[in-house]
Amino acid sequence: MSVSTSHGMRIYKNKMAIDLEARPQNNHYASLVRNLKVAVVSNFTLESGCQLSQVPVAYSTWGALNEDASNVLVVCHALTGSSDIQDWWPSLLGPKKALDPTRFFIICFNLLGSPYGSASPLTLDPLTGDPYGPTFPETTLRDDVKIQKLVLDALGVRQVAAVVGGSMGGQLTLEWPLCTPPGYVKTIIPISTSAYQSAWGISWNESLIRCIQADAQFHGGNYGPVPERQPIQGLGAARMIGMLTYRSCTSFEARFGRRRVDSKISTNQATVSRQSLPSPPASDAGDDLSEAVELKKSTGHTAARPLYTVQSYLHYQADKFLKRFDANCYIHLLRKMDAHDITRDRTDMALLPTQAHPDFSSLAHILGSCTTPALIVSIDSDILFPPEQQDLLATYLPDAQLVKLQSSDGHDGFLLELAATDQMIRSFLQQHNPAAFAAAPSDSTEGAASADVGLDSIFGEVDSHFQ
């Protein structure tokens, strides 16, 4: 039971309050997100037992609730994404698209631990007045579902029509029907994801974390929480490695091959500078030479080894990432991803895994209990979340459709094959929400109509410089 008060405050029986009209804390990274909204939960207990107070939960919305507050689409961002769907899924958001704000109330939350406004290492600790930094407590995807549902409750939401998400967002999508009352989530669309984080995924994440921690400027996580104070070399290297797991050999060969920018410019000249984080190139890969020259000016490095365009691409991605992400937040989210396992603490001791992989009887038991209709999307060239992981989901979920997305772009295919992704999501939503599509569309688009797929993406992969 809850009681609404003035100023967007909702008070619950357990003395917890949610302020729906809070202002974002002063945070460089949160300022990158357009139309950001923040709810503050007065007190929240994490799965670990740690208690947080004055917990910000940042989110973005499009559209409006219908009369029975059941036309809600919850979209879950990937590892380094944000709540600004218009940035990283622009072709999917708008009238007559998969995420149609004239028919649905669309909401995307920033995960706990994200640098984009929710509670994270960047957040000020109410007890000290300083950012949490490396002392920010561990959070889980189940914590995210729990606190996001509190905000949905405060907004008056009665049912969620669908939860949609890819990669880490897909892991969160799988937790939604398992962490909420039966029937609250009507359908789910997990994309390029898994029921548990594999040893392969954990290994890549550990490599990324060690890159960051090896940087002398990391200082155990005690650095200034602004771009110029980050452990730039380690965080940039981690992003480069991560990009390799998100794409495929075929994709890189087709886009770059062995093309060189200029034989007189070397990869050493593209080393990220702590003094100057260069701006991205002005147009496309043909401008890599000018980018490398500017980097040479800022670093002073000279060498004879040639700079290949694929190396320039990786340095560009690192530079772009350094301007928009925090190292402690990155480590926090990677560890949260590693902890993902839908069977954790949900099975009897007799069902716990005894082999190198989770016991499939436990997996079958947990997934079999989830009767929520699901659209499972798999990408044939994905090396990070290979198709057999989605096959497993489709095998054990009682009401699941499996769709194979053909793409040479690897894991990032769902962020790049926009037309195909839009069509499959829209068809599934029409199948399971006929009333929403039969009703006359509302006039509420809340900015989605201005989405422009030609713009570069801050948080995603829509990037004209290297298409």
Is 19 in contact with 40 (CB distance < 8 Å)?
yes
Cα 78 to Cα 165: distance, rounded to the nearest angstrom:
7
Partnered with residue 166 across adjacent β-strands are 191
Q: For helices 309-322 and 288-299, what crossing angle results, to 10°? A: 60
Tell me how far CA of residue 207 lies from CA of 80, 148, 464, in angstroms. Answer: 17, 30, 29
Partnered with residue 251 across adjacent β-strands are none
| SS3 labels along 59-112 | EEEECCCCCCCCCEEEEECCCCCCCCHHHHCHHHECCCCCECCCCCEEEEECCC
The set of catalytic residues is: 167, 382, 411
Tell me how far CA of residue 66 lies from CA of 10, 76, 94, 160, 221, in angstroms. Answer: 20, 21, 17, 12, 45
Is 382 in contact with 363 (CB distance < 8 Å)?
no
Q: For helices 168-179 and 327-338, what crossing angle results, to 10°? A: 60
Tell me how far CA of residue 163 lies from CA of 87, 154, 176, 373, in angstroms. Answer: 19, 18, 7, 11
Q: Name the pairing type of β-strands 51-62 and 188-191.
A: unpaired
Nearest residue to 34 (alpha-carbon basis) of 101, 94, 86 = 86
Amino acid at 42: S
Given the structure tokens 């490599």, which residue do they identify? Answer: 207
Alpha helices of 214-270 — where are they, by DSSP H?
232-246, 249-255
- Joined tokens for residue 68: 């029975």
Cα 168 to Cα 336: distance, rounded to the nearest angstrom:
9
Cα 172 to Cα 336: distance, rounded to the nearest angstrom:
11
Tell me how far CA of residue 10 lies from CA of 15, 153, 238, 312, in angstroms. Answer: 10, 9, 41, 51
Quote the DSSP letter at residue 319. Answer: H
Is 333 in contact with 79 (CB distance < 8 Å)?
yes
